[in-house]
Amino acid sequence: MDDGLYFNKEHLWVKVKGNEGTIGITDHAQEELGDILLVEPPEVQKEIEQSSSFGQVESAKAVSDLISPVSGTVVEVNEALEDEPELINEDPLDKGWIIKVTLKDTNKLSELMNEEKYNKYLEEETD
């Protein structure tokens, strides 16, 4: 049951198709942050590294680094977020995606959690 959706402990997800990954923040993260006011994504063609910051989101509560679940090269930025950052609150797993990347190493996906493991991680984190 692998739908190509993976999560890191910093509450970002990546949906993988072939060697392309779409990255965004989880529903849990957007709930914790509250209303998203601003998204600062990287430039197209920027190299990003797994477990490193590639940008920031600013909410009513905090400014948070976006910690990448994967390494790769940014091929697209969700420009709709420039005018409508609230898309992350409204639809974090679809319209609220932040960037698309060409993956550097798909073997590293094994270091991430699937949805079932991520949900268990959330339960443990909130206990």
Contacts (Cβ under 8 Å, ≥6 apart) of 43: 74, 77
When the pLDDT of each residue in the chain is averaged and rounded to a whole number, the result is 95
Interval 79-97: pLDDT, tens? 999 999 999 999 999 999 9
Q: What is the pLDDT averaged over residues 73-82?
A: 98
Interval 26-50: pLDDT, tens? 999 999 999 999 999 999 999 999 9
> d(Cα 39, Cα 123) in Å, to the nearest integer?
27
Q: In CATH terms, is domain 5-126 a member of 2.40.128.640?
A: no
Q: In Å, how far are 12, 112, 119 from 124, measured between CA atoms? A: 17, 16, 9
Q: What pLDDT is attached to residue 3?
A: 63
Domain boundaries, the chain: 5-126
Token output for 40: 């600062």
Amino acid at site 64: S
Torsion of CA 121, 116, 65, 32, to 10 degrees: -70
Q: In Å, how far are 32, 55, 71, 118 from 126, measured between CA atoms? A: 12, 26, 28, 12
pTM of the model: 0.95
Token output for 11: 């509450």
Q: Considering only CA atoms, which of 63, 53, 60, 115 is closest in space to residue 86?
A: 60
CA 63 to chain centroid: 15
